[in-house]
Structure formats: C-alpha cells, structure tokens
C-alpha cells in the first residue's frame, strides 16, 4: 500500500479490504503441525476423540467468524501454550509469562511451533517418556474441548459470537456502577475465545468472577 491520493488509496491492498480481512495468519502458523498430529492420533485408539477434534481444526478455513470451530481454535491455542510451558514454570509464573509473551508471539509458542521435537514439548514431570509436538497437540485439543464443555456446553452454545456475549456475574456487581464495572466482566483469556487479543489477559479479574453465562 503506497498511500492516500486525491483519487483514493493506491497500492495492491485497499484499506477497507485490509480492515475487513478476517483470515487468521496466526492460525496458519499454530496449526502447521496438524497433519502429523492427526496421523499420530489415528494410530492410537484412545485418542480418537482428540483426533476428530484436530480434524475439525484442519478443515477450518482460518476465517475468524461466529462458527464453533473458531472457539475450538482459540481454546486450543491457549491450552497449547499451557501444555508447552506449565511443567517448566508452574501455574503462577506461567500466567505472568503468558500475559506478556502472549502479546509477543515469537517469545513463546511461535518460537518452538515449527520444531516438532523441541525440548519444550516434553513434559518434564513424565520421566518415563518424552512428549513430542504431536502428543501435546492431542492433549491440548482434549483440554480445549473439556474447557468448552465446562464453560459453554455443547452445540450452538460454543459459537464464537455467543461465547463472546457471555458475562461474568458477581453478587457485588448488582450494587451500583463502580461495582458492576469491576465485578461483571466479559470473557477473558481462559473462557476460550480471546487468543486474538493484542495482549492476553491475566487471571486477576477471572478469580473475582463466577462461571460465565452463555445465552
């Protein structure tokens, strides 16, 4: 794009098209290892559910819209971060790390996503085996599915537009404006649908809130 002239914008990309582009380039990076993970899932009868979920992600056109698969992707990316790093950092440190490194993708997940055998995929708490990226993909998508079940339910209740319309409610939020603003919040990172935020949210507000309502 070269700039604005009296005749309009010049260059290959029009601003309106750029603004309305909902294609997730980030998802192309995160999901690059899907094929081998699906093959691994097919070879393990106990991973059939995870394998089918990964197949849903493989069939996604990477357009961020209201479909359920977008919620699955966003929850999956969150749990991929967690599975990759929590064994090295523990929960409290991971939360702080993710809040900042999540905004600088190459500082964390994106740095290792292309290396199927990076040592970061290995869970150091399982000394009897060494996990690969495929194994972590299968675990992360299972975690994502369980979280969506817990937070949202099944079927249409997982649609991204409905998940984003959910609210956290707290009894103190019913008093007056400052309390309502502070306690009743929209979904944050671990409600499965905020991996496209510029900066992932920390957990302080989450701990103040009860289970979200998805209408």
List pLDDT tens digits, range 168-187: 566 666 666 676 666 655 55
Q: What is the pLDDT of residues 132-156, one digit of tens each?
A: 999 999 999 999 999 998 888 888 7
What count of other Cβ atoms lies within 10 Å of the Cβ of residue 132? Answer: 18
Farthest CA pair distance, the chain = 68
Over 80: is that where the pLDDT of 90 sits? Answer: yes
What's the pLDDT at 197? 47
What's the pLDDT at 189? 38
Which residue carries 């209201």 as its tokens?
66
pTM beyond 0.75, yes or no: no
What's the pLDDT at 192? 39
Q: Are 125 and 169 in contact (CB under 8 A)?
A: no
Give me the helix-helix angle, 133-151 and 68-101, nearest 10°. 110
Q: Are 41 and 50 in contact (CB under 8 A)?
A: yes
Q: What is the mean pLDDT of residues 61-68?
A: 89
Q: Return mean pLDDT, the chain.
A: 78
What's the pLDDT at 124? 93
What's the pLDDT at 160? 79
CA dist list (Å): 10 to 21, 122, 124:
18, 49, 53
Q: Distance between CA atoms of 129 and 150, rounded to whole angstroms? A: 30
What's the pLDDT at 22? 81
Task: Say whether 182 sits in a helix, a strand or coil.
Answer: helix
What's the pLDDT at 57? 96
pLDDT-derived band at 1 (thresholds 50, 70, 90) equals very low
Over 60: is that where the pLDDT of 88 sits? Answer: yes
Q: Distance between CA atoms of 26 and 80, rounded to whole angstroms? A: 14
Q: Distance between CA atoms of 36 and 8, rounded to whole angstroms? A: 46
pLDDT-derived band at 21 (thresholds 50, 70, 90) equals confident
Q: What is the mean pLDDT of residues 207-214?
A: 39
| Nearest CA among 83, 66, 19 for reference residue 163 | 66
What's the pLDDT at 140? 96
| Nearest CA among 174, 151, 168, 178 for reference residue 209 | 168
| CB within 8 Å of 160: residues ≥ 6 apart | 64, 65, 66, 67, 68, 70, 71, 74, 193
Q: What is the mean pLDDT of residues 206-211?
A: 37
Q: In terms of pLDDT, which residue wins out, 103 or 213?
A: 103
């Amino acid at each position: 794009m070269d700039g604005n002239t009296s005749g309009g914008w010049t260059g290959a990309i029009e601003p309106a098209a750029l603004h309305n582009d909902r294609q997730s380039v980030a998802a192309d990076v995160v999901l690059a290892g899907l094929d081998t993970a699906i093959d691994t899932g097919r070879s393990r009868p106990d991973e059939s559910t995870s394998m089918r979920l990964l197949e849903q992600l493989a069939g996604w056109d990477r357009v961020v819209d209201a479909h359920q698969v977008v919620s699955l992707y966003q929850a999956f990316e969150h749990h991929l971060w967690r599975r990759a790093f929590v064994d090295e950092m523990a929960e409290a440190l991971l939360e702080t790390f993710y809040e900042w490194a999540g905004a600088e993708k190459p500082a964390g997940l994106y740095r290792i996503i292309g290396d199927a055998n990076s040592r970061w995929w290995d869970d150091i708490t399982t000394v009897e085996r060494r996990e690969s990226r495929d194994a972590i993909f299968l675990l992360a998508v299972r975690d994502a599915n369980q979280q969506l079940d817990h937070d949202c339910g099944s079927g249409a209740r997982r649609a991204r537009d409905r998940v984003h319309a959910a609210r956290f409610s707290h009894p103190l939020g019913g008093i007056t404006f400052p309390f309502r603003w502070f306690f009743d919040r929209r979904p944050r990172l671990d409600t499965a649908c905020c991996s496209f935020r510029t900066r992932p949210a920390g957990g302080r507000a989450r701990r103040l809130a009860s289970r979200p309502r998805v209408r």
